[in-house]
Amino acid sequence: MTLPASAEFDDFEREHLQRIDHLRTNLLTHLSNGVHTTQQALNTLQRLRDNDVYDTEFTDGRDGDDIAAFLNESIRYLRAAYAVVHTVIDKEIP
pLDDT per residue as tens digits for the range 1-51:
555 555 678 899 999 999 999 999 999 999 999 999 999 999 999 999 999
| Residue 5 maps to a domain | no
User: 47 φ, ψ to 5°?
Assistant: -60, -40
Give the domain range for residue 43.
25-90
3-state helix vs strand vs coil in the chain, percent to 5: 75, 0, 25
Asked whether the whole model's pTM tops 0.75, one would answer yes
Q: Which helix (H) or strand (E) holds 51?
A: none
How many domains is the chain built from? 1
| Residue 15 maps to a domain | no
| Residue 2 maps to a domain | no
| Residue 53 maps to a domain | yes
What's the one-letter identity of residue 29?
T
Pairwise CA distance, residues 71 & 35, whole Å:
10
| Residue 34 maps to a domain | yes
Pairwise CA distance, residues 54 & 72, whole Å:
20
